[in-house]
Amino acid sequence: MHFSKEDFGTDFKWGVSTAAYQIEGAHNKDGKGYSIWDDFSQRRKKIANGHSGNIACDFYHEYASDISIINKLHIPNYRFSISWSRIMPNGIGEVNYKGIAFYNRIIDYCLELGIEPWITLYHWDLPQALQQKGGWTNRSVVQWFNDFILCCLKHFGDRVKHWMVLNEPMVFTGAGYFLGVHAPGKRGLSNFLAASHHAALCQAEGGRTIRSYQSDFKIGTTFSYSDLDPLRENHERDAKAVIKVDALLNRLFLEPLLGLGYPTKDLKILQRIERFMQQGDEQKLAFQMDFIGLQNYTRERVKHAPFMPFIQAKIVKANTRNVPHTLMNWEVYPPCIYKALNRMQSYPSIKEIIVTENGAAFPDEVIEEEVHDIERVQYLKDHISQVLLAKREGVHVTGYFVWTLMDNFEWAEGYHPRFGIVHVDFNTQKRIIKNSGKWYSQFLAP
Ligand code: IFM
């Protein structure tokens, strides 16, 4: 399908996303406190090749030239996150004004270039000092997080109008507190359910805090959301397995926010979350966001797996299915984003959806100062065209942000999977705009 930017209308928000720990580096500079990712990557060696975000893309020092690249690529919206421990080294109390100054420089420079800043308040880097008190498993996190939000609003709220509360709560609670493969490396159902309930409270309370600070701010929060299909068609037990995985991966955080409660009927084990609930919590979990951030990359095929604890279901990875896939072993299946958008639209209380992340990691090669990442160009075109299809059919999708501006620290995978539309040489910090960046730039050019 041939399409242009104009097909989406003049109000459609085009953008690019990043996250603090993945790009900033300067992990101990200018008064920054330790975060759980500093701790996890430096002490536990759980990251591929022993990598860490200590230096990453050195965005802390390179921010001006990187934001100039965003401008050069004609990208009008930039989504980035605030490192909590950079502005509040102990998570609570003392404010680090050098950290505040750094984000002020970013915001001011974006505005100077005509780029709209969109802030994600929490993109996985909890201050380590708070983890020592239990982190997300401690209900006090609701208060801690609220104080952090108020600090951000006080210092950045005079210029930033677009706010997202959490980034993908399912991923940071699931990988960080159940599987132990992300920071802080905790495991077990009890840790996971406690962290999940507190994160779900924070996402709604956070929305309320921002709204009461300034009623016309545009407020959202983001969700990882994968399209799910049964491995075997017309297979009753695989179909049931899909329902359970959907309740866990796609609905656990979204539905309480929408006032629908936790999806306990479709995944019984989630009933145990009630142990962490207090009177009145069900109402506190709900908040009317202005938009929902959809973060979609792939679809998963699910099969019945009787020995899988708690869920009796399993995701069958793409490389064993003989389908095209990315370096993350995620199937390349463009209709996934169309289906995810339609699914979100089916909730009547969701008024607006913004694709706050979509993109792909492929094995890029630098040849004579160029990166011909044809697979990524195709991926972006195919997924954006599916967004257009959904929009034309009436889905209220109002924006699309590429993940990500430049190659960066991909959490447990280290620096190997490169998602950027700009290539980064991590030895020299040299940037090269990939063909995908050039394509996005031509697409967005006035
Ligand atoms: O890099 C991550 C990002 O931090 C959250 N969403 C998915 C991306 C790719 O894995």
3-state secondary structure of 389: helix
Q: What is the mean pLDDT of the chain?
A: 98
The alpha carbon dihedral of 90, 91, 97, 103 has a sign of: positive
277-290 pLDDT, tens per residue?
999 999 999 999 99
Segment 117-135, tens digit of pLDDT = 999 999 999 999 999 999 9
What whole-number distance in Å separates Cα of residue 57 and Cα of residue 60?
8
Q: 11-444: what fold?
A: TIM Barrel (3.20.20)
Q: How much distance in Å is there from the Cα of 424 to the middle of ligand 1?
A: 17
Position 314: which residue type? K
Residue 375 annotated among the catalytic residues of the structure? no
Cβ neighbours of residue 51 closer than 8 Å, sequence gap 6 or more: 41, 409, 414, 415
Give the pairing of strands 291-295 and 353-357.
Answer: parallel
Encode pLDDT of 103-113 as tens digits.
999 999 999 99
Looking at residue 43, what is its pLDDT?
A: 77
Q: What residue has token string 């993945």?
A: 22
Asked if 374 and 425 touch (Cβ cutoff 8 Å), the reply is no
* Closest C-alpha to 122, from 190, 195, 51: 195
Would residue 287 be called left, alpha or beta, if left means φ above 0 and alpha means ψ between -120 and 50 degrees? beta
- pLDDT for residue 45: 78
Residue 168 is a catalytic residue: yes
CB of 117 closer than 8 Å to CB of 160: yes
- Point out the catalytic residue in the list 62, 205, 300, 357: 357
Q: Is the pLDDT of residue 100 over 90?
A: yes
C-alpha 142 to ligand 1 mean position (Å): 24
Cβ-in-10-Å burial (0-12, 13-18, 19+) of 150 comes to middle
Mean pLDDT of 355-368: 98
Predicted local distance difference test score (pLDDT) of residue 44: 64
Atom of ligand 1 nearest to the CA of 408: 1
Mutate to test the pocket of ligand 1, among 403, 418, 424 (most ligand atoms within 8 A of CB): 403
Return the domain boundaries, the chain: 11-444
pLDDT (tens digit, 9 = 90+) per residue, 305-345? 999 999 999 999 999 999 999 999 999 999 999 999 999 99
- Dihedrals φ, ψ of 354, to 5°? -125, 130
